[in-house]
Structure 1
Amino acid sequence: MVLYAAAFIAFALDLARRSAQVKAGNTVGVDGSVTTAPRVLETASVGSGVGASSAGGAASVAVAEAPAGERATDAADRAVATTGGRASGGRDGGQNLKGRFGADGSITQRSLSLRLGMAFTLLGFLLEVTADVVRGIAAQRVPWANMYEFSMTGTVLIIGVFLVVNTRVDLRFLGTFITGLVLILLGISTVNYYVVIAPLPPALQSAWLVIHVFVASLGTAFFALGFALSGIQLLQSRREVSGSALKFVKLKFLASLPDSTRLENLAYRVNIVGFVFWTFTLIAGAVWAERAWGRYWGWDTKEVWTFIIWVIYAGYIHARATRGWRGSRSAWLAIIGFAAVLFNFGIVNVFFHGLHSYSGL
């Protein structure tokens, strides 16, 4: 939780940095990189035969005329870039500056806080995976047989899905929301759900415990990512229409994120993956129920809410694909679906008693 908290702070600082740079009129990319407007420097004229001394003179002039607050080394490097990078007399001296200086003299800087956020998230993920594995070794079974263990495994998968998806699509701007959600879930489970290791009830002594619960956790992880994307989509859509995401708060960092259409498409894709896993969860649960209790469906509270979640996401996919429900309506359906997932996890498992009362509390 400490590492996830550090990641949350780093991601939040990145969003604050984005807002400040957008306000300053700079260009901020989805990856958090900031490109400042090119500045015209009155440096010494450099001819084709000029060597290190002339380039050094240009650098000294640039340092003298550098804008307030700019590091002298940055100004000198920028001046060297304008001379073709030949301060050392080599033909490829400027190649080390590629990616930092544009051809027009603009400067691109990457977000240190964003990189720190991903590093802390990865470290926290590895540590939590270790804790989850150790819990399983101590219990001599899979570590998701009660609410505490399910919370730990579920949050591991949420972070894992976030990290894996980032290898395909840059969604690091969701880091604040994902790590914040995981922090809340871990905090609640640590305070309220912790139990000592206990033997499994007879109904849980089945291979379906491995399959059914793990797939349900994986589906929940994809739904969590879709929830975060849909929430950002609503804010972005409002900003695009009215110029402000919220009435009293100006979330300028939204200008650096993908547009609402792109966010909606990404949310739709991850929610479809989650829906596939949840469909399997529903089917596997029915098969397991027949093995354990002699019937496929008994209208138990847990069974009903699992089906309600499936219906909400099925409606979301169907309405968007066939009825043209786009924009805020589809986003709200996705958010309602994940709210039902949280209700199923935090309320049904704890306060409703039935055949599925295996919270361990």
Structure 2
Amino acid sequence: MTNEALAQYANLSLYSAMAVLTLAMVGYALYLAGLVPHRDRAAAAVRDQRAAREEALVGVGVPSAPVDVPAGAGTDVVTGTPDAAAPVVDEGEQVPARARKAAGIAGSLTWLGGFLLVVSAVLRGASVQRWPLGNMFEFAVVGAMFTILAFSIWSTRRDLRWLGLFVVAPVLLTLGLAITVWYTEAAELLPSLKSVWLAIHVTVATLATGLFAIAASATGIYLVKDAFERSGRRSVLDRFPDARAIERLAYGLHIVAFPLWTFTLIAGAIWARQAWGAYWNWDPKEVWTFVIWVVYAAYLHARATSGWSRQSANYIALAGWACIVINYTVVNVFFVSQHSYSGL
């Protein structure tokens, strides 16, 4: 029996979470935007210093001499001479106060958004007295909840302000699709879903997906930043951690998420044996779950093999995330299978 009042409160909490996370996204965007003029001012200071020095030397009739450039101002990649047009890059340099304040507010709002998603999931489950993972809408909400909570908890141990926009924005997109395209009224479960394995198998799958989502964002940033570093071009990404550090961060997330996905695959086979009488039925959902596992296993193997570059390995990781997206948005909706529980 469905409690319509609790279901409505769950939706209200979801809308509130989306509003809060929108403000958090704006805060993270302002943080990143605040880094750009900061670097421009540093570059202008170097150029002004050089111009003033040259004018002073010309004024007294002294031939031009090499200009002292602050450490970290950059060098010409061909001659090795200081590049005065390059901004000062001081790793210990403080971020502008307004940018720090915006990021601090965004972090607090992200925590609040995560709490509201927890409330929404709990109320949704209470409205039908079951685990809130019975259809695509509920899976999207719980997956977004795990993503936000994992990011927020991790932010207490590391400075992840630079990553915030690239985590919150995809979560908001997912929630927007959930409430508009994948929305399903709260209802009882299909008979085959009434099992303790729903809470075990699908919960672990959503947690793994949330971690893979954060890892995918970090991997994409690494590949872009690495390309900029190789080309010698400068951008706001210069204020992010070193490319190698970002890559190690993404790798660590994959190391945690991959065993969870492995457990998802095994638990799904056990549940299939109980529900349908066989561990493996070549169902489209089963096949794609295994494909995802294979792709991420290939990434981890490539990452640990000396013959593979880190760039190539990380492209495989992004392919794994693409497979997850296809599995959720295409296989769930358009493939006829024993896992047709989207509710659409």
| TM more than 0.5 | yes
Q: Residue 294 of structure 2: which of 303, 311, 316 is its match?
A: 311
Q: Residue 127 of structure 2: which of 131, 135, 138 is its match?
A: 138
Q: Provide the secondary structure at the position in 2 that maps to 1:24.
A: helix
What does residue 216 of structure 1 align with? 205
Task: Determine whether 1:229 maps to 2:218.
Answer: yes
> CA offsets per residue over residues 148-171 of structure 1, 9 Å max, x none?
111110000010111112122222
Aligned 1:1-361 pairs, distance under 5 A: 1-25=18-42, 109-110=96-97, 111-244=100-233, 252-361=235-344
Q: Is the 8 A contact 2:137 2:183 kept in 1?
A: yes
What does residue 89 of structure 2 align with? none
Q: Is the 8 A contact 2:34 2:96 kept in 1?
A: no
Cα distance, 1:23 vs structure 2: 2.1
Cα distance, 1:260 vs structure 2: 1.2
Query: Kindly tell me: are residues 108 and 317 of structure 1, through their superposed partners in 2, closer, same or farther at Cα, counting changes over 3 Å?
Result: closer
C-alpha separation between the residues in 1 aligned to 2:318 and 2:94?
39
* RMSD between aligned residues: 1.5
Amino acid at match of 2:292: I
Cα distance, 1:108 vs structure 2: 6.9
C-alpha separation between the residues in 1 aligned to 2:134 and 2:323?
21
Q: Provide the secondary structure at the position in 2 that maps to 1:262.
A: helix
Q: Provide the secondary structure at the position in 2 that maps to 1:230.
A: helix
Cα distance, 1:324 vs structure 2: 4.2
C-alpha separation between the residues in 1 aligned to 2:242 and 2:138?
38
Higher helix share: 2
C-alpha separation between the residues in 2 aligned to 1:158 and 1:124?
11
Q: Provide the secondary structure at the position in 1 that maps to 2:186.
A: coil
C-alpha separation between the residues in 2 aligned to 1:168 and 1:294?
45
How many aligned positions are there? 276
C-alpha separation between the residues in 2 aligned to 1:348 and 1:229?
26
Q: Provide the secondary structure at the position in 2 that maps to 1:25.
A: helix
Q: Is the 8 A contact 1:22 1:255 kept in 2?
A: no
Cα distance, 1:227 vs structure 2: 0.3
Identity of aligned residues (%): 44
Query: Kindly tell me: are residues 206 and 259 of structure 1, through their superposed partners in 2, closer, same or farther at Cα, counting changes over 3 Å?
Result: same
Q: Is the 8 A contact 2:146 2:206 kept in 1?
A: yes
Cα distance, 1:314 vs structure 2: 0.2
Q: Is the 8 A contact 1:155 1:182 kept in 2?
A: yes
Query: Kindly tell me: are residues 225 and 289 of structure 1, through their superposed partners in 2, closer, same or farther at Cα, counting changes over 3 Å?
Result: same
Q: Runs of 5+ in structure 2 lacking a partner?
A: 1-17, 44-92
C-alpha separation between the residues in 1 aligned to 2:338 and 2:25?
38
Q: Is the 8 A contact 1:350 1:359 kept in 2?
A: yes
Q: Provide the secondary structure at the position in 2 that maps to 1:193.
A: coil
Q: Is the 8 A contact 1:6 1:117 kept in 2?
A: yes
What does residue 57 of structure 2 align with? none
Q: Provide the secondary structure at the position in 1 that maps to 2:42.
A: coil
Amino acid at match of 2:190: P
Query: Kindly tell me: are residues 182 and 268 of structure 1, through their superposed partners in 2, closer, same or farther at Cα, counting changes over 3 Å?
Result: same
Q: Runs of 5+ in structure 1 lacking a partner?
A: 27-105, 245-249
C-alpha separation between the residues in 2 aligned to 1:164 and 1:120?
13
Query: Kindly tell me: are residues 108 and 155 of structure 1, through their superposed partners in 2, closer, same or farther at Cα, counting changes over 3 Å?
Result: closer
